[in-house]
Copies of this chain bind each other. A is one copy, B any other.
Amino acid sequence: MSRAEGQRERTESLAHRVPDLAALELLLAVARLGSLGAAAREVGITQPAASSRLRSMERQLGVALVDRSPRGSRLTDAGALVTDWARRVVEAAAAFDAGARALRDRRDSRLRVAASMTIAEYLLPGWLLALHAERPDTAVSLLAGNSAKVAELLLAGEADLGFVEGLNVPTGLDSTVIAHDRLIVVTAPGHPWARRRRPLTAAELASTPLILRERGSGTRQVLDAALGGLARPLIELSSTTAVKASAVSGAGPSVLSELAVGEELSLRRLVSIPVEGVPLRRALRAVWPTGHRPTGPARELLSLTRA
């Protein structure tokens, strides 16, 4: 999929076919404000620059995006679709930015967050985005690790607020449940399980070799507990992405957080297999050193995660 495509895709890679972020943001501004000039002002460039950027974007895509008139500009039908896709790219970029910003401010920060991998990857960037919208001056740092690492950082005073997804709260920490996450059994659509009519039983799941994260990961922990310590690995991989890729390629069934496979499910690269009698729901918790109730930006972030 990668090297072969890399060869064939001499059609010039994505970056040559997709407008850059600045252009996408401009398009969103035009969509919202209904005028090239106003959009130009908002993104901090001159009107002719905006005009030219938009024009070259239309040339690049081969589609007219806005109807210009002496009274303003409005999206064409195609423009409305493109704008929605652009919005999703920009949102992903904003999440990237929020995460990177947190990493950058690691040293000299006011709010230091420690989080487990799944939460750091899939949820925190969005929360940090929201926090940044309300408190733009808060410098946030982010450290990722397993539950033990999070606890260690909090107890050593090297982090102000933690997020974990395990079953048990590490000792010395207070916690509150901020959300729930479900582990789901997934396979490639071609797998026999995808055509089952009855839910999987715990025994079947326990007796089937699965594609799993390594022992010690939060996901693996919950699964082992739910099955009574019995999950049988078919392969053990060290990142969620690798597990997903392996499952998509049809290597076997896997058990993953629903947070991690949203896109794969909606594109039907993976399908979810119902299971009965296995408690795969797990709490996501915010944690902090016992007694040190979160204050200031930590408290703000905490409240954002809950409502």
A residues whose Cβ falls under 8 Å from a Cβ of B:
1-3, 5-6, 8-11, 13-15, 17-18, 20-22, 25, 32, 42-44, 61-63, 77-78, 80-82, 84-97, 99-101, 103-104, 106, 120-123, 125-127, 129-130, 133, 136, 142, 144, 179, 189-190, 194, 239, 241, 259, 262-263, 266-269, 271, 304-307
Q: Is the CB–CB distance between B307 and A100 below 8 Å? A: no
> A10-B44, A77-B144, A92-B92 known; A268 and B179 CB under 8 Å?
yes
The main secondary structure of chain A at its interface with chain B is helix
Tell me the complex Cα distance, A120–B78, Å. 11
Q: Which of B3, B8, B17, B80 contacts A97 (CB 8 A)?
A: B17
Tell me the complex Cα distance, A267–B43, Å. 26
- The winner among A93, A126, A129, A263 for most chain B CB atoms within 10 A is A93
Q: Is the CB–CB distance between B82 and A93 below 8 Å? A: no
Q: Is the CB–CB distance between A17 and B189 below 8 Å? A: no
Contacts of A84 in B (CB 8 A): 121, 241
